[in-house]
């Protein structure tokens, strides 16, 4: 039975990736830019925390590059952790899984500080309010060793409504082209409705790039920068 379950989980990971490729085709590029930027040797024994690991995409790419890294993979949903375990079974010895809310990350490691060389996150922080994001970044800063880096790859929103409107039109156009007639992305209308419903259900709250940088500043980070930005997505970094 275990192998059937495992197969089913891997099938779900593949389905999730297929949908992400349609909705967020820049995800591999964003993750690669974050990893390329990290100034560590590939064989260094770095300690990494992945916040909102989901199905484990970022962690997988990280462990393929930094082969001696140890990762704590945290997510609020046990189901997502199960999917991550299915994707990352070859890296079992390098990963510790934690089910928890990253807003409470200060209570997750028995109030220990300065544990990690790197904190990574992709497409997870846009569920938080600005205030929650600022407070969480502060807690992340506490968990980093001096000189450690936080890399956040996520959706953003433009502060100018006209620009945001145009970005949204381009977003829907792109999804329809990439989906090649696959439902629910077979027309602009159905795609828009699907996105609106999904974002309401998931309580999405993307912030502006300015707010993203302010959250890093509030957290106490230095060397804050935008490593990459295109339309509604960005990769930002900050150092402790
Ligand atoms: C859209 S998925 C992205 C997953 C993965 N990082 C990726 O790039 O594919 C967002 C993940 O963040 C998790 N998440 C959202 N808010 C969270 C929170 N406050 N604490 C822990 N996990 C959270 C969700 O459960 C979900 O698995």
Domain layout of the chain by residue ranges = 2-157+206-239, 158-203
pLDDT at 4 over 70: no
Alpha carbon nearest to ligand 1 atom 20, residue: 101
Name the 3-class secondary structure at 184.
coil
DSSP state of 44: S
Q: What is the pLDDT of residue 67?
A: 97
In contact, 128 and 103? CB cutoff 8 Å? yes
pLDDT in tens, 137-171: 999 999 999 999 999 999 999 999 999 999 999 99
Q: What percent of the chain has pLDDT over 90?
A: 92
Q: What is the pLDDT of residue 110?
A: 80
Pick the closest to residue 135 from 171, 92, 101, 165 (CA basis). Answer: 101
Alpha carbon nearest to ligand 1 atom 10, residue: 124
Q: Strand pairing partners for 173?
A: none
In CATH terms, is domain 2-157+206-239 a member of 1.20.1090.10? no
Reported pTM: 0.95
Q: Residues near ligand 1 with C-beta < 6 Å? A: 20, 52-55, 57-58, 75-77, 80, 101-103, 122-124, 127
> What is the bridge-based pairing of β-strands 47-51 and 116-122?
parallel
Alpha carbon of 126 to ligand 1 centroid (Å): 9
Mean pLDDT across 24-34: 97
- Split at pLDDT 50, 70, 90, the class of 3 is low
Alpha carbon nearest to ligand 1 atom 26, residue: 54
Q: What is the pLDDT of residue 7?
A: 65
Alpha carbon of 127 to ligand 1 centroid (Å): 8
Mean pLDDT across 71-91: 96
Mean pLDDT across 72-76: 97
User: Is residue 72 classed exposed, middle or buried when 0-12, 13-18 and 19+ CB atoms within 10 A define those classes?
Assistant: buried
Q: Strand pairing partners for 228?
A: 235
DSSP state of 93: G
Which is the closest atom of ligand 1 to the Cα of 102? 20
Q: What is the pLDDT of residue 6?
A: 60
Alpha carbon of 13 to ligand 1 centroid (Å): 14
> Mean pLDDT for the chain?
95
């Amino acid at each position: 039975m275990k192998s059937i379950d495992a197969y089913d989980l891997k099938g779900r990971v593949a389905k999730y990736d297929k949908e992400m490729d349609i909705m967020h085709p820049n995800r591999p590029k964003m993750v690669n830019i974050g990893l390329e930027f990290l100034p560590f040797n590939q064989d260094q024994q770095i300690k990494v925390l992945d916040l909102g690991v989901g199905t484990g995409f970022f962690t997988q790419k990280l462990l393929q590059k930094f082969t001696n890294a140890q990762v704590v993979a945290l997510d609020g949903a046990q189901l997502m952790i199960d999917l991550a375990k299915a994707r990352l079974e070859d890296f079992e010895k390098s990963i510790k899984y934690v089910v928890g809310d990253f807003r409470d990350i200060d209570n997750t490691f028995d109030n220990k500080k300065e544990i990690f060389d790197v904190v990574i996150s992709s497409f997870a922080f846009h569920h938080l309010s600005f205030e929650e994001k600022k407070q969480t970044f502060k807690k992340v800063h506490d968990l980093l060793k001096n000189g450690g880096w936080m890399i956040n790859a996520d959706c953003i929103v433009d502060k100018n409504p006209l620009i945001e409107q145009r970005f949204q039109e381009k977003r829907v156009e792109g999804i329809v082209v990439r989906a090649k007639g696959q439902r629910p992305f077979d027309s602009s209308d159905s795609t828009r409705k699907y996105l609106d419903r999904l974002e309401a259900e998931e309580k999405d709250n993307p912030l502006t790039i300015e707010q993203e940088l302010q959250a890093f500043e509030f957290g106490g980070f230095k060397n804050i920068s935008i490593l990459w930005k295109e339309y509604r997505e960005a990769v930002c970094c900050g150092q402790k």
